[in-house]
Chain A
Amino acid sequence: MKNKLGRIRVFKGLYRRYAVYFYLFVAAMLILLGVSHHPVIQQIRISIGNVTSSVVSILYKPFEGLGYAVSYLSELGNLHEENIRLKQDNEKLLYWVNRSQKLKQENERLKKELHFVEPAGVRRWTAYIAADNGGSFSRSVLVRAGEKDGIKKGFIALYNEGVIGRIVDVGHSVSRLLLLTDFASRVPVFVGEKRLLGIVQGNNTQILHLTSLPEGAEVKIGDYITTSGHAGVFPPDLPIGSVSKVSEEEIEVLPFVSREDTSFVQLVDYRLTGLLETEPCEEEKQ
């Protein structure tokens, strides 16, 4: 009995002394496990997200007003500049309203003449952002809509018709929305009026980078960026942003919609599977 107690005491002493190194070793093993990108890890994360998003939505209520108050106060300082900018924008918009009316009429007339068949209608869901589960190393949010609501992997998230990201994981009542600004996000795009093909990629900051342009392509500040529809993940011609900086090393793109612009997103089913389709089809299986 004395021996047993002694052994326990020795074990306890060793544990006290080396516990932190033991846990460091376990953490290093976890990193190696994480590198494997096993789908189970993502499943665990999204299941935990179901719970944490509910907790967050309860706890966030009292802070919500505070957040609005802070953003209201920070906007007060720029009121004059904001007013000038809005007046300028308004003038531009009035011009575009007239122009778009004419283009719409022309478009309808041409469609009629060509007997154009409209593509199948898209389905839309509106969901609020339940939790910001990004971090220093990723940009993603949890939205309060999941399997039970009919949400599926690959749905596109829009706000004011501008792309904000796409659904990459779906849980029972929440889904993970990977933002365009995430490091892992790559979107094939058209640039400017010449519709040059390029790729917009995130860098875990507020700004996107434009890469993979054809040799000698001329890009200027203000060029409009839209999805190209290549790879079948995003449909073509969805607004992404505009070129904000052009230098020898890089081209920066300011997205039309940023994560901080909204508490809600619209999830749209364009019936695209693209690169997200991992299951081989029946014919391939045979």
Chain B
Amino acid sequence: MIRLGYKASLLRFLKNGIPFLFSFFLLIIGLFPIRIVFLTQLHVSLVFISLFYWVIFRPDLQPPIVVFILGLCADLFYQTPLGLYTFSFLLFYLIIKNQRRFLTNRSFSFLWGAFSVFVIPLFILEWLLASLLFLHFLSFWSMLGQTFLMIGLFPLIAGGCACLYHRFLEVDE
């Protein structure tokens, strides 16, 4: 068994933490007090793209506990019903993990389409759950608009993930 030095271990730890750190950074970006109307609606939704990418390409670095922590952070950073994002993230993770074999070695446009297919029903479920918790139907169109905006931004975020993957994480596999 080869023992890694202190620096090498730290470097490896940081490299393995990239998927989590990237998703966490997206969570923080959602908090930015941006003054552009359509962008202020994004909030947590960008994290779904990051989760989708890393579960397909490096599931070993995105275990359920990491998804749980991300969800809990989202719930505490934002004024959402507690546990709602934790539940949504884990459900999304479970779905993508189960369908992973159909999603690996596919083209980028296929992944984009697949993401849209998975995320729309999930957001409808999230909207229903939130409406149930508030005991009132929340604005569906606002939620749907946010979902389409997120799908539109998929290439940008997934592109960022792909850059990190090819630069730091591909060789480790």
Contact = CB atoms under 8 A, between A and B. Distances in A.
Interface SS of chain B: helix, strand, loop or mixed? helix
Interface of A: 19-20, 22-24, 26-35, 41, 44-45, 48-49, 52-53, 55-56, 59-60, 63, 67, 70-71, 74, 129-138, 140-141, 176, 183, 203-206, 258-263
Given A30-B75, A205-B142, A135 B80 contact: yes
A240 B33 CA distance: 22
B68 A260 contact: no
Given A27-B87, A133-B79, A135-B78, A52 B32 contact: no
Given A20-B97, A24-B87, A204 B138 contact: yes
B75 A137 contact: no
B77 interface: yes
B136 interface: yes
B139 interface: yes
Contacts of A63: 32, 34
Contacts of A45: 76, 79
B86 interface: yes
A104 to B, nearest CB: 33
Interface string B110-145: 000000000000000011011001101011001100
B79 A135 contact: yes
B58 interface: no
B90 A136 contact: no
B40 A140 contact: no
A183 B83 contact: no
Max chain B Cβ within 10 angstroms of own Cβ: one of A129, A132, A205: A132
Given A52-B31, A138-B78, 18 more contacts: A23-B65, A27-B71, A28-B87, A34-B81, A35-B133, A52-B28, A63-B32, A132-B32, A132-B40, A133-B31, A135-B44, A135-B80, A136-B138, A136-B143, A183-B134, A206-B37, A258-B37, A260-B35
Contacts of A176: 79
B33 A130 contact: yes
